[in-house]
């Protein structure tokens, strides 16, 4: 029955169903077409009727009837129905190919070009495009060159997801068939082999591990979502993450899985990804129900006491009862066992957030390092910065739940420069539980502001439904007053010099004039550290094992800050008396690829771990800006430095 279109097949159905003579106007109304079109269709149908068995009888002013036996009519209808299925399949296949050109190949098409390519009328192509728009919810825009897809990257990927889902569903591919060779061959018509294989391999590995639960009923949808995202990413198409860092850390459980996937795909393809891409994949994992598995009782018992010790140590350092947070204990337990395995097996971990975490959550990061250092000997591992940063985020989430800290955005036109200046000036006047994050104007309007409590900006912002404080780029005392007015528990001192509002209640307990050395000259950091440790050993401040541990620590993590100061440290086990050794350098030395002018070597004993958070907080007040460091240390004698800190 080649040559019949769907409308003509519907007309045949109507003729078979009606045994009476009916006028052309009846069929015209039923099919919503003109009488002229119906007459044309009847002529076409007459040519395909079985000769001598069926024919169309036309009676003037009465109507038309399909003449023949019931049996012959039914046989003809079966043939027509088979033709209809063929026609539908051809139409569907054509629409998939058109959708591929628009969504995957990103082509600009014309109706005439498509009509010639698929050997159909332009009206069929118009119908195809309408169905594609409706089925995949995409937006097409016409131009002089033709028709193309427009929309945000997220909208385009959602349309592509629906297209792939429809494509696999129509080929009856379920979750179990995803890993079959035939499925991969089917997908090769759409996507590059390297991306398909990399994602399938990663999902298969995930299904066989025991640390996380992957709901079977979501595997197919998760695969399609990751396939679409990685394919678009390979073409340098990025989805802008809607969440700020202080919202992303709540999903830290699955962050490593997201990073692992993109690492594997990047190894197989030319894909280049960033932190926002990892965060997007992470959101998909959480959204599709990926959760940590509760560990077996025997595994928990193996590390249970160690984990409890860490919780107690962190509680003493941060003055928070972390033992009361049962969810923290569960999440930390799920993370702990694979972490220890990685460290013992020497498996390198990539944590792209580590620098942001160290910068924005410096106090929590350093406190976590001290708490973990207390169990390193027992576990026979050394915690590197990447692992410490991840553990620190579990504690940070718990802190935010218990202390309800405010989340503050600092905005300027380019996100750096003036924002850094504002950030460094106001960070120290905020309560310790508050979180400040730098962002750009562009990101401010694109991301989700639901969890933001306050915005501080150096430029005028429109249509922002959040408390907003506009400050100058230099952050004057008047600006500081406006900011601190939001916090009734903060004391503001009317002084003209901003350094006068600082005090160091904990640092003054551990600073010692005998361990402040000024204008020293060293050629590199190794010589500098060896000299400082030697002074501490002479006064029996540290054990002989302290030196090795400091250098081991330097090998696995950076201790130099961008402001020109290094803060090396070691675990409390090798400290006999709590002291802070300070060295100012006559000439800067290279330390972790940064130029360092000042070195603060922290030595805190187990017995004094309650001082850790306070000491770190006080040190951060000084080291967070170059101006502050210069004020306290530059061209100062040891007695000047000591008195300036002790008298506050």
Write out the two tokens for 597: 């002018």
Q: What CATH number corresponds to the domain at position 26? A: 1.10.10.10
Which among 619, 638, 621 is positioned nearest to 580, based on CA atoms?
619
In this structure, are 369 and 419 located in the same domain?
A: no
Q: Which residue has the higher pLDDT, 606 or 543?
A: 543
* Residue 611: CB atoms within 10 Å: 19
Could you tell me if 528 and 522 are in contact, meaning their C-beta atoms sit under 8 angstroms apart? yes
Average pLDDT over residues 486-498: 41
Instruction: Write out pLDDT tens, residues 306-319.
Output: 888 899 888 888 87
Cβ density class 160-182: b for 16+ within 10 Å, e for less:
bbbbbbbbbeeeebeeeebeeee
Per residue, the 3-state secondary structure of 87-101, as one string, reads HHHHHHHHHHHHHHH
Per residue, the 3-state secondary structure of 367-387, as one string, reads HHHHHHHCCHHHHCCCCCHHH
Q: How far apart are CA 564 and CA 580, in angstroms?
A: 18
Tell me whether residue 256 is in a domain.
yes
In this structure, are 36 and 145 located in the same domain?
A: no
pLDDT score of 339: 82
- Mean pLDDT in the chain? 82
Cα dihedral across residues 267, 273, 275, 280: positive or negative:
negative
pLDDT score of 492: 35
Q: What CATH number corresponds to the domain at position 438? A: 3.40.50.2300
Q: What CATH number corresponds to the domain at position 312? A: 1.10.1790.10
Last residue of a domain, one of 499, 529, 559: 499
Which among 308, 277, 290 is positioned nearest to 221, based on CA atoms?
290
Place 535 in a pLDDT band, splitting at 50, 70 and 90: very high
Q: Is the pLDDT of residue 179 over 70?
A: yes
Q: What CATH number corresponds to the domain at position 568? A: 3.40.930.10
| DSSP state letters, 472-509 | -TT--HHHHHHHHTT-TT------SSGGGG---TTHHH
Place 250 in a pLDDT band, splitting at 50, 70 and 90: low
Write out the two tokens for 182: 């035939």
Could you tell me if 571 and 504 are in contact, meaning their C-beta atoms sit under 8 angstroms apart? no
Q: Cα–chain-centroid distance for residue 515?
A: 45
Last residue of a domain, one of 499, 527, 556: 499
Tell me whether residue 266 is in a domain.
yes
Average pLDDT over residues 459-464: 81
Tell me whether residue 76 is in a domain.
no
Tell me whether residue 120 is in a domain.
yes
Last residue of a domain, one of 258, 274, 292: 292
pLDDT score of 1: 54
Helices (H), 119-171: 122-136, 153-170
pLDDT score of 490: 34
Instruction: Write out pLDDT tens, residues 137-175.
Output: 999 998 889 999 999 998 999 999 999 988 888 887 877
Q: Which residue has the higher pLDDT, 341 or 202?
A: 202
Tell me whether residue 1 is in a domain.
no
Average pLDDT over residues 120-135: 90
pLDDT score of 497: 45
Q: Is the pLDDT of residue 235 over 50?
A: yes
Share of the chain residues as helix, strand and coil, in percent rounded to the nearest 5: 55, 15, 30
Q: What angle do CA 174, 177, 180 make, to 5 degrees?
A: 155
pLDDT score of 114: 92
Average pLDDT over residues 587-608: 90
Tell me whether residue 95 is in a domain.
yes
How many angstroms separate the Cα of 623 from the Cα of each of 384, 474, 582, 618?
22, 19, 12, 9
Q: Is the pLDDT of residue 501 over 70?
A: no
In this structure, are 117 and 213 located in the same domain?
A: no
Domain of 363 in residue numbering reads as 297-403
| DSSP state letters, 574-637 | GBSS-EEEEEEEEEEEEETTEEEEEEEEEE--STTGGGHHHHHHHHHHHHT-HHHHHHHHTT--
In this structure, are 334 and 222 located in the same domain?
A: no
Q: What angle do CA 411, 415, 421 make, to 5 degrees?
A: 75
In this structure, are 495 and 625 located in the same domain?
A: no
pLDDT score of 584: 96
In this structure, are 87 and 52 located in the same domain?
A: no
pLDDT score of 521: 95
Tell me whether residue 444 is in a domain.
yes
Could you tell me if 591 and 625 are in contact, meaning their C-beta atoms sit under 8 angstroms apart? no
Q: Which residue has the higher pLDDT, 98 or 320?
A: 98
In this structure, are 175 and 283 located in the same domain?
A: yes
In this structure, are 464 and 550 located in the same domain?
A: no
Write out the two tokens for 12: 């045949």
Tell me whether residue 74 is in a domain.
no
Average pLDDT over residues 613-640: 87
348 by Cβ neighbours in 10 Å (0-12 / 13-18 / 19+) ranks as exposed
Count of structural domains within the chain: 6
Which among 243, 246, 617, 620 is positioned nearest to 407, based on CA atoms?
246
Q: Is the pLDDT of residue 491 over 70?
A: no
In this structure, are 281 and 384 located in the same domain?
A: no
In this structure, are 379 and 431 located in the same domain?
A: no
In this structure, are 522 and 493 located in the same domain?
A: no
In this structure, are 364 and 264 located in the same domain?
A: no
| DSSP state letters, 508-566 | HHHEEEEEEEEEE--SSHHHHHHHHHHHHHHTTSB-THHHHHHHHHHHHS--B-TTSEE
């Amino acid at each position: 029955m080649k040559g019949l279109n769907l409308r003509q097949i519907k007309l045949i159905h109507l003729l078979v169903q009606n045994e009476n003579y009916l006028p052309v106007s009846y069929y015209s109304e039923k099919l919503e077409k003109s009488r002229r079109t119906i007459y044309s269709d009847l002529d076409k149908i007459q040519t395909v009727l079985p000769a001598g068995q069926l024919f169309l009888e036309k009676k003037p002013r009465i109507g038309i009837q399909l003449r023949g036996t019931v049996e012959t009519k039914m046989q003809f209808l079966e043939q027509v129905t088979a033709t209809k299925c063929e026609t539908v399949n051809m139409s569907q296949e054509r629409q998939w190919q058109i959708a591929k050109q628009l969504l995957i190949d990103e082509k600009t098409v014309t109706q005439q070009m498509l009509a010639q390519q698929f050997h159909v009328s332009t009206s069929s192509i118009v119908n195809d495009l309408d169905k594609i728009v409706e089925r995949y919810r995409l937006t097409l825009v016409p131009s002089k060159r033709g028709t193309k897809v427009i929309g945000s990257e997220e909208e385009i990927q959602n349309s592509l997801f629906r297209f792939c889902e429809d494509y696999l569903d129509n080929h009856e591919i379920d979750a179990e068939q995803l890993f079959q060779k035939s499925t991969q061959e089917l997908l090769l018509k759409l996507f590059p082999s390297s991306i398909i294989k990399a994602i399938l391999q990663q999902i298969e590995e995930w299904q066989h591990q025991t640390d996380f639960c992957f709901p079977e009923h979501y595997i197919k949808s998760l695969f399609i979502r990751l396939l679409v995202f990685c394919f678009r990413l390979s073409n340098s198409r990025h989805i802008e993450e809607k969440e700020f860092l202080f919202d992303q850390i709540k999903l830290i459980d699955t962050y490593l899985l997201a990073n692992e996937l993109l690492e594997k795909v990047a190894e197989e393809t030319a894909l280049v990804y960033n932190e926002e891409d990892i965060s997007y994949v992470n959101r998909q994992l959480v959204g599709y129900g990926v959760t940590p598995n509760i560990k077996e009782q025997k595994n928990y018992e193996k590390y249970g006491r160690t984990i409890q010790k860490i919780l107690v140590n962190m509680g003493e350092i941060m003055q928070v009862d972390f033992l009361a947070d049962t969810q923290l204990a569960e999440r930390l337990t799920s993370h702990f066992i694979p972490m220890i395995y990685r460290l013992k097996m020497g498996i390198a971990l990539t944590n792209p957030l580590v620098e942001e975490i160290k910068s924005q959550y410096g106090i929590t990061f350093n406190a976590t390092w001290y708490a973990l250092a207390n169990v390193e000997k027992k576990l026979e591992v050394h915690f590197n910065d990447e692992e410490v940063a991840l553990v620190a985020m579990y504690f940070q989430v718990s802190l935010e739940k218990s202390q309800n800290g405010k989340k503050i955005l600092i905005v300027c036109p380019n996100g750096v420069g003036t924002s850094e200046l504002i950030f460094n000036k106001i960070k120290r006047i905020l309560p310790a539980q508050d979180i400040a994050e730098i962002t750009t104007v562009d990101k401010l309007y694109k991301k989700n502001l639901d969890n933001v409590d306050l915005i501080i900006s150096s430029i005028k912002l429109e249509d922002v439904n959040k408390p907003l404080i506009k400050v100058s780029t230099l952050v004057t005392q008047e600006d500081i007053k406006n900011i601190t007015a939001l916090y009734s528990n903060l004391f503001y001192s009317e002084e003209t010099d901003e350094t006068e509002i600082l005090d160091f209640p904990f640092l003054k307990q551990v600073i010692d004039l005998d361990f402040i050395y000024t204008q020293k000259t060293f050629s590199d950091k190794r010589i500098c550290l060896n000299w400082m440790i030697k002074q501490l050993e002479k006064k029996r401040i540290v054990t002989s094992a302290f030196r090795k541990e400091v250098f081991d620590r330097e090998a696995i993590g950076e201790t130099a800050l961008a402001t020109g100061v290094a803060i090396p440290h070691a675990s409390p086990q090798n400290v006999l008396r709590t002291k802070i050794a300070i060295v100012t350098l006559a000439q800067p030395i290279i330390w972790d690829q940064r130029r360092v002018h000042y070195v603060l070597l922290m030595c805190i004993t187990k017995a004094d771990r309650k001082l850790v958070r306070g000491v770190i907080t006080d040190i951060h007040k000084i080291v967070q800006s170059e101006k502050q460091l210069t004020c306290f240390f530059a061209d100062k004698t040891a007695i000047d430095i000591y008195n300036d800190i002790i008298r506050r």
